């Protein structure tokens, strides 16, 4: 790395904290910074058949609730649910969710950067490690969410999502967030609403602050 590039890797967050993207500390952000970053980071390149694009915050809630309701292994453990909610947290700190097909072209330096952010998130929130079954079920939920978003949010016909995007999972008709929050199924929320709902869920899953 060329001398001086490190100094350009700082991000000033809404809280006033400074995040060093290349050498992140687990205390570089507030919960509100993370929630806002995820609410303002969009999936599908920001393309949407609705008025608003779909935020990573809303996607994260979808994946968490799909795992919570998984018939093979429904989740109730607070730590495991928090791990699901924060599975894309590094994207909110970075402010970037690249399309999957672009990731191989971004190179090993970008992967190393995102890996360091992911590790910082895991330290900050004391996330448990994935076991083999848990990771498999997580990926299934993530793919179900992606298939459903492709059809219901990005507007891909189901056969094109399968044949062009190569998403093998079948899109769900039922939106797991609708019974909780109301509104039309699969409708992307405005950033302000995604922020509020993600932050509320995050604070519910965090362990209580020590007394005294």
Handedness of CA 5, 7, 12, 18 (dihedral sign): positive
- At residue 167, φ and ψ (nearest 5 deg) are -95, 110
Is 111 contained in some domain?
Answer: yes
- At residue 20, φ and ψ (nearest 5 deg) are -90, 105
pLDDT at site 9:
86
Residues 136-164, mean pLDDT to the nearest whole number: 96
pTM higher than the cut 0.85: yes
Residues 197-204, mean pLDDT to the nearest whole number: 98
Is 3 contained in some domain?
Answer: no
Is 1 contained in some domain?
Answer: no
Is 69 contained in some domain?
Answer: yes
Q: What is the CATH number of the domain that holds 112?
A: 1.10.3210.10
Cα angle for residues 64, 72, 79 (degrees, 5° grid): 40
* Other beta carbons less than 10 A from residue 102's beta carbon: 10
Is 114 contained in some domain?
Answer: yes
End-to-end Cα, the chain, rounded Å: 46
**Domain containing 178: what range?**
9-205
Query: In the predicted model, is pLDDT for residue 92 greater than 60?
Result: yes
Q: Report residue 211's pLDDT band, with 50, 70 and 90 as the boundaries.
A: low
pLDDT tens across 46-59, in order? Answer: 999 999 999 999 99
For the chain, how many structural domains are there in total?
A: 1
Contact indicator for 152, 185 with CB cutoff of 8 Å: yes
Handedness of CA 49, 50, 53, 58 (dihedral sign): negative
Mean pLDDT of the chain: 93
Can you tell me whether residue 182 is helix, strand or coil?
coil
Is 210 contained in some domain?
Answer: no
């Amino acid at each position: 790395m060329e001398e001086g590039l490190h100094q350009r890797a700082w991000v000033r967050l809404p809280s006033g904290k400074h995040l060093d993207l290349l050498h992140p500390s687990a205390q570089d952000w507030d919960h509100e910074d993370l929630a806002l970053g995820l609410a303002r980071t969009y999936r599908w390149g920001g393309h949407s058949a609705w008025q608003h694009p779909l935020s990573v915050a809303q996607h994260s809630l979808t994946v968490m609730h799909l795992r919570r309701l998984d018939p093979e292994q429904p989740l109730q453990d607070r730590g495991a649910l928090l791990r699901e909610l924060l599975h894309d947290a590094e994207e909110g700190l970075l402010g970037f969710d690249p399309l999957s097909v672009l990731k191989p072209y971004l190179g090993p330096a970008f992967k190393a950067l995102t890996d360091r952010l992911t590790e910082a998130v895991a330290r900050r929130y004391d996330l448990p490690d994935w076991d083999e079954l848990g990771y498999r079920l997580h990926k299934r939920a993530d793919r179900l969410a992606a298939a459903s978003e492709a059809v219901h949010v990005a507007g891909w016909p189901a056969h094109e999502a399968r044949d062009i995007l190569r998403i093998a999972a079948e899109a769900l008709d039922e939106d797991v967030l609708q019974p909780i929050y109301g509104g039309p199924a699969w409708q992307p929320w405005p950033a302000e609403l995604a922020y509020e709902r993600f932050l509320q869920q995050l604070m519910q899953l965090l362990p209580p602050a020590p007394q005294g």
